[in-house]
Amino acid sequence: MKALKYLLPLWISIAVYSVLSLFYGAMGLSAYEQLLFGRDIQWANIKKLGAINSELENAQNNLLYDREIITIHAQSLGYGKDDENYIRIVGLGSPKNPYTAIGEIIPAPFPGFISDKIIKVCALITGITVLAIQLFLNLLRRQ
CB atoms within 10 A of CB 78: 10
At 76-117, the pLDDT tens digits run: 777 877 787 777 677 766 656 555 667 788 888 888 899 999
> Domain map of the chain by residue range?
1-26+115-143, 33-98
The per-residue pLDDT for range 117-138, each reduced to its tens digit, is 999 999 999 999 999 999 999 9
Mean pLDDT of 2-31: 91
Whole-prediction pTM: 0.64
Q: Where are the alpha helices (DSSP H) in the chain?
A: 8-24, 29-65, 67-76, 116-142
